[in-house]
Amino acid sequence: MRRAIGLLSLALSAVLATTSTSHAQAPKEVVIGAIYPLSGNLAQIGIDSITAMRMAVELFNGKSDLNLPGMKKTTEGLPGLGGAKIRLIVVDHQGKPDVGQAEAERLITQEKVTALIGAVFSSVSATTSQVAERYGVPHMNGESSSPTLTERGFKWFFRTSPHDGHFTLAMFEFLKDFEKKKGVKLKTVGLMHEDTLFGADSGKVQEELAKKYGYEVVVNMAYRAKTTSLDAEVGKLKAAAPDVFLPTSYTSDAVLYIKTAKTLEYVPRMLIAQNAGWVDPQFVAEMNKDIEGHITRSPFALDLQAKKPLIRQVNELFKKQKDNPGGRDISEAPTRALTAFTVLVDAINRAKSTSPEEIRKALVATNVPADQLLMPWTGVRFDEKGQNTGVRAILQQIQKGAYATIWPFDLAAADVIYPLPGFKDKK
């Protein structure tokens, strides 16, 4: 018996010895878990985002001279970790918070990921980040815009993108600027938002800011996401007739709104969308003339590539990706994912370790300059809540079938079309 115990402890110490030595050595690979919607209503956005991140993994694992965070280097792999390679594990959350939660749990406990990134839907990011917080694993987010996410005082959650507080502020700043510049008077706003966390938070902050900026909210309605009919909603809008209409909808409902508004002939004087459906490239292509003059908030603009050659370089690479059939231009969603992902990898590289605490410290110390970003931001620096403080929102308008930047006026590539032209092919 005593001999058995002796053998056992010997074996145990041997195991401990090997683990401790392997820990001291730099790991050969860094595993990152990406939780995205790959089926369901936002599947294409998820697929495009994964394509952008896979492209970044290839660049990080090889050599690259792209001026993205941590990417410009002459050696293969991550130099801070002795050339370690990145392995991306991609999972599908189907747009469901419970699935996201289970997948986050599995990625952390089974796949032993170093960090998580995701999850587009604010409602899903809310649950995945809770899991990450519990296990003490860094969770990066580049898309979810619900302000609540960074108001929870989480230690492990970081968001590169502006939230709907920033975006909505931009909308009302724009309205004030616009009224002054054009000498028009806009008095009332109408709100319509879907009923998940994204829509609910957007509606809440829009209502608050409208009051603060002196606009009367004449209609404010939540609707069931993925609905089969928006007849009642558009009916209410027609009855209330706000000057400015602010919708918050994912693609399916955005398509339905346009179709219904066209049938019922509802045209507000101005429409400013809370992103989402309105920036889906397929939505823009399909709706074409019917959304001429629609405005959306955005953190990214392809038409800024004249001022930022980096955008063109990345776009050329993106168009050549094999998972990007038809060579579509990089759009808003993959750009946001790419930004968040490169910031995360850069922090892991600077941490020179896969220890969660070291990575967290490196993330807190993040200071990415504006010239390494595809976005028109002043940089990436996280506040104590994990929110990037260098964000800047821009507004874009559909002009001749493509988005043109119209605000801030100093970045503008085009003048504002006002009022909305309405539906062209009337019968």
- Report the interface residues with another protein, using CB under 8 A: 38-41, 43-44, 47, 192, 195, 221-224, 226-229, 231-233, 235-236, 238-239, 251-252, 255-256, 259, 262-265, 280, 282-283, 286, 325, 425-427
Cβ closer to another protein: 164 or 233? Answer: 233
CB of 107 vs another protein, minimal distance in Å: 21
CB of 49 vs another protein, minimal distance in Å: 12
Cβ closer to another protein: 165 or 277? Answer: 277
> In this structure, are residues 366 and 380 in contact, taking their beta carbons and an 8 Å threshold?
yes
What torsion do the CA atoms of 226, 227, 231, 233 make, to the nearest 10 degrees?
-70
CA–CA separation, 12 and 16 (whole Å): 6
* Residue 198: closest CA among 117, 131, 273: 273
Cβ closer to another protein: 254 or 391? Answer: 254
Q: Tokens 């987010």 appear where?
A: 141
CB of 342 vs another protein, minimal distance in Å: 25
Distance of CA 222 to the CA centre of its chain: 22
Cβ closer to another protein: 40 or 422? Answer: 40
Torsion sign (Cα): 270, 276, 279, 282 = negative
CB of 340 vs another protein, minimal distance in Å: 21
Largest CA distance in the chain: 95
Cβ closer to another protein: 228 or 367? Answer: 228
Q: State how far the alpha carbon of 33 is from the alpha carbons of 5, 99, 179, 272, in Å.
A: 40, 14, 46, 34
Cβ closer to another protein: 60 or 223? Answer: 223
Residue at 381: amino acid letter: R
* Residue 161: closest CA among 149, 178, 179, 172: 149
